[in-house]
């Protein structure tokens, strides 16, 4: 066997796996050793990654029993920039990335499972699982809680109305118990079938125990408060889903495809491919990401960026899926598959964030299951102590002296971890929903918690502290008089790049009517520039350092530097040297944001590849604490590492391909805007969709609020448990008071978390 291939199904499956797992860069399959290795960049949620990988590997084993053989070799079809390489019995699928990133990859190896009979059974178990508040309509749960509360209140009133109403009181109490315990019973049954016990089981056990000793009204109160808190949790989850639904609705379902002869055909959006021409009429939504080919208009990009001001669009300008065309009809060329559009990536980011748990939440999840068994055991022991050790009647209350069973039920109520288990996920869900509504996307609760601990904020310059929308000031050539040739070479090279400098050069050159020439063997030199070949001539475009490494080094030392306020890009060919001068405007809010960061006790550091003269001028204007200029991507990673080594918790804010490695190296990675590069968005744990530097403050403030609310919730929940448990052991707490105190704390915790949904930062 000289090698093997992946079938089309598995090329697609592994590609989707790479897309959906944050921080995952490559997958390597070795059929000889029956191993699968994954490469990650930066910190990842290993628990979530392993769970997802196990699902993929199990699916491989179940559906096909393994990988394809040589007969499938011709079926390999990597998509949208993904690279598939094969060597012997190894196949490696790599996501699009910059040249520097592989140096920082960390590989993890796993064995794939063999197909067994119990896998099918396990799948059925998972199909039955999921009867939790995330899957239930909060209105349905709120309705059950309302029925429980209403029927219970009437039952209590009738029970005190005198003879003749007892039967009605019991019937209504039964209705209240059925409504209040319905959701808990469904969840408990699903978990019992899997051999697990949780807080839902505890609540039902307490309710049944309370009814068995005649405490009907206490049981109703317990289930009412528990079902009400469950409805609140479901409401928080529904709000996060609502943000995704709003984005999904903004995505068009059909597109008007334009053929070469001008013939228009309405097609499904998912059938579009890169290079297709699509016409969008006024009021219509763009069905994919691309660039304007014909026409002039303006776009409403508020669904992506939160910016209400329309953005002018003309030939060569980028357009984004889901945004609205406000002006005239335009024809644009599809540059990304609809499934990989900016809008779809945002949707996947929100969905992923909802599933990834915060570190403290994972702790309480593990703690909750073990604590449930501990509580059951403690109550059983105390029942024996009260009965056999203290001589209390096991089941019958004698006057004011309560039975051992009654006290055990009270202890079971007050020690149940409902409030503790809900204390953290309710906060995280509310924060994710608030952030999504205000243009701050978090990849799970871990990012929110880590951001609150940041001590140093490192920022890229171009596109972060500045607008990133550069404008060309002028062209220079050596010898003089060949400025048009410099512009032609620059357009040919930069037409293949998405860097902010490239966009500025392409836009200016096309507006001047510059002839477009074809470049061959195009490639990117990460952190330096780009290169290609035009005919037999090699052409370079990039930083001044390109001159320092060649035969022109001594001559280049005599060249005057550009003004401090300008950026320069050099064009070098066999018979021509020239430069392009560009200007980038500072963001109007940058100075205010940096002042606020300083007031919050955070240190600011600017990391940039620009000249020190330019960087220091920006730093003085904005009040940045430290400047490191002239950095390559490797230098930026080293700078981040050094900042961390000095004891700081570092957040990196960037937007470009060159920022991806240092984003991965930071403790918390923050990407600027929906227009940021794919590499930056893939590495970022926090994404600022409004493309505004002020959103950094919103994210930091929100994370600190989340940390405070989490500690408030944990303090409330644990405090009530400890105080009421001690009082219950001493026999000073009746069951009704225990129910009210414990479940009341659960309601308080949920309401405290929901404040984040309605609060302002």
Task: Give the CATH number of domain 471-583.
Answer: 3.40.1110.10
Task: Give the helix, strand, coil percentages of the chain, each rounded to 5.
Answer: 50, 20, 30
The model's pLDDT over 319-348, given as tens digits with 9 standing for 90+, comes to 888 778 887 788 999 988 777 666 666 565
Q: Look up the CATH superfamily of 429-465+588-705.
A: HAD superfamily/HAD-like (3.40.50.1000)
DSSP code of residue 250: H
- Catalytic residue among 187, 460, 508, 667, which? 460
Q: Give the helix/strand (H/E) hosting 236.
A: helix 216-250
Q: Which two tokens stand for residue 82?
A: 């993904």
DSSP code of residue 401: B
Pairing of strands 650-654, 83-87: unpaired
635 has catalytic annotation:
no
Global confidence as pTM: 0.58
CATH pick for 273-336 out of 3.40.50.2000, 2.70.150.10, 1.10.10.10, 3.90.1150.10: 2.70.150.10
- CA of residue 710 relative to chain centroid, distance: 20
Backbone angles phi, psi at 394, to 5 degrees: -65, -40
422 neighbors 746 (Cβ within 8 angstroms): yes
What pLDDT, on the 0 to 100 scale, is given for residue 605?
Answer: 93
What pLDDT, on the 0 to 100 scale, is given for residue 94?
Answer: 82
- Domain extent listing, the chain: 8-128, 273-336, 429-465+588-705, 471-583
Residue 312, strand partner residues: 298
Q: What is the residue-wise DSSP string for 439-505?
A: TEEESSHHHHHHHTT--EEEE-IIIIIB-S--EEEEEEEESTT-HHHHHHHHHHHHTT--SHHHHHH
In 10 A of CB 328, how many CB atoms? 13
Place of tokens 């409902």: 418
761 neighbors 701 (Cβ within 8 angstroms): yes
What pLDDT, on the 0 to 100 scale, is given for residue 358?
Answer: 44
Q: What is the crossing angle of helices 216-250 and 138-159, to 10°?
A: 160
Among 690, 686, 684, smallest CA distance to 438 is for 690
Positions of the chain with pLDDT lower than 50, given as ranges? 1-3, 62-77, 114-135, 306, 353-363
What pLDDT, on the 0 to 100 scale, is given for residue 129?
Answer: 37
What pLDDT, on the 0 to 100 scale, is given for residue 760?
Answer: 55
The model's pLDDT over 537-560, given as tens digits with 9 standing for 90+, comes to 888 888 777 766 666 666 666 677
């Amino acid at each position: 066997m000289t090698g093997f291939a992946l079938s089309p199904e598995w090329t697609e499956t592994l590609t989707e796996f790479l897309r959906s797992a944050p921080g995952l860069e490559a997958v390597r399959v070795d059929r000889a050793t029956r191993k699968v290795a994954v490469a990650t960049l930066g910190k990842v949620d290993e628990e979530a990654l392993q769970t997802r990988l196990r699902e993929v590997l199990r699916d491989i084993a179940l559906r096909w029993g393994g990988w394809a053989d040589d007969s499938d070799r011709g079926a390999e079809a990597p998509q949208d920039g993904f690279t598939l390489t094969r060597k012997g019995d190894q196949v490696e699928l790599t996501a699009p990335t910059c040249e520097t990133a592989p140096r920082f990859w960390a590989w993890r190896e796993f064995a794939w499972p063999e197909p067994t009979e119990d896998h099918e059974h396990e799948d059925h178990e998972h199909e039955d699982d999921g009867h939790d508040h995330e899957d239930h309509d909060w209105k349905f749960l709120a309705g059950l809680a309302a029925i429980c509360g209403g029927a219970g209140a009437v039952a209590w009133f009738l029970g005190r109305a005198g003879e003749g109403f007892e039967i009605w009181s019991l019937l209504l109490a039964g209705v209240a118990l059925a409504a209040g315990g319905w959701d808990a019973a469904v969840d408990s049954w699903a978990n019992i079938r899997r051999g697990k016990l949780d807080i839902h089981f505890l609540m039902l056990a307490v309710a049944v125990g309370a009814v068995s000793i005649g405490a009907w009204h206490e049981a109703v109160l317990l289930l009412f408060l528990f079902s009400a808190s469950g409805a609140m949790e479901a409401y928080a989850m529904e709000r996060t889903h609502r943000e995704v639904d709003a984005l999904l609705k903004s995505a068009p379902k059909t597109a008007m495809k334009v053929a070469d002869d001008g013939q228009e055909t309405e097609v499904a959006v998912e059938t579009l491919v890169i290079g297709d021409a699509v016409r969008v009429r006024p009021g219509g939504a763009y069905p994919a990401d691309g660039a304007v080919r014909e026409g002039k208009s303006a776009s409403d990009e508020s669904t992506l960026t939160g910016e209400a001001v329309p953005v002018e669009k003309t030939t060569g300008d980028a357009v984004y899926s889901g945004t609205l065309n406000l002006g005239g009809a335009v024809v644009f060329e599809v540059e990304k598959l609809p499934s990989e559009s900016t809008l779809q990536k945002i949707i996947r980011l929100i969905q992923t964030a909802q599933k990834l748990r915060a570190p403290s939440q994972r702790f309480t999840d593990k703690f909750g299951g073990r604590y449930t068994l501990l509580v059951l055991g403690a109550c059983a022991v105390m029942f024996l102590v009260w009965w056999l050790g203290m001589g209390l009647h096991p089941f019958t209350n004698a006057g004011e002296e309560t039975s051992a069973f009654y006290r055990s039920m009270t202890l079971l109520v007050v020690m149940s971890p409902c409030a503790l288990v809900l204390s953290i996920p309710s906060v995280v869900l509310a924060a994710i929903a608030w952030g999504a509504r205000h243009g701050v996307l978090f990849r799970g609760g871990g990012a929110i918690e880590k951001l609150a601990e940041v001590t140093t904020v490192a920022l890229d310059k171009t596109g972060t502290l500045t607008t990133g929308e550069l404008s060309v000031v002028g062209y220079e050539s050596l010898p003089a008089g060949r400025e048009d040739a410099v512009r032609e070479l620059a357009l040919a090279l930069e037409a293949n790049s998405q860097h902010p400098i490239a966009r500025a050069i392409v836009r200016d050159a096309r507006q001047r009517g510059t002839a477009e020439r074809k470049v061959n063997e195009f490639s990117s030199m990460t952190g330096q520039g780009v290169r290609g070949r035009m005919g037999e001539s090699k052409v370079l475009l990039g930083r001044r350092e390109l001159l320092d490494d060649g035969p022109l080094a001594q001559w280049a030392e005599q060249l005057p530097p550009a003004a401090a306020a300008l950026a320069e890009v050099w064009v070098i060919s066999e018979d021509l040297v020239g430069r392009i001068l560009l200007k980038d405007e500072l963001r109007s809010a940058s100075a205010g944001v940096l002042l606020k960061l300083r007031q919050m006790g955070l240190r600011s550091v600017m990391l940039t590849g620009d000249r020190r003269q330019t960087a220091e001028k920006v730093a003085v204007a904005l009040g940045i604490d430290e400047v490191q200029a002239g950095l390559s991507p490797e230098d930026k990673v080293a700078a981040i590492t050094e900042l961390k080594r000095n004891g700081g918790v570092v957040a990196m804010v960037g937007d470009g391909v060159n920022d991806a490695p240092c984003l991965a190296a930071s403790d918390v990675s923050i990407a600027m805007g929906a227009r940021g590069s794919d590499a930056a968005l893939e590495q970022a744990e926090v994404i600022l969709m409004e493309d505004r530097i002020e959103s950094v403050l919103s994210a930091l403030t929100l994370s600190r609020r989340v940390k405070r609310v989490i500690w408030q919730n944990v303090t409330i929940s644990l405090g009530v448990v400890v105080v009421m448990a001690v009082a219950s052991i001493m026999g000073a707490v009746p069951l009704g008071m225990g129910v009210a105190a414990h479940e009341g704390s659960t309601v308080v915790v949920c309401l405290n978390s929901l404040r984040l949904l309605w609060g302002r930062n």
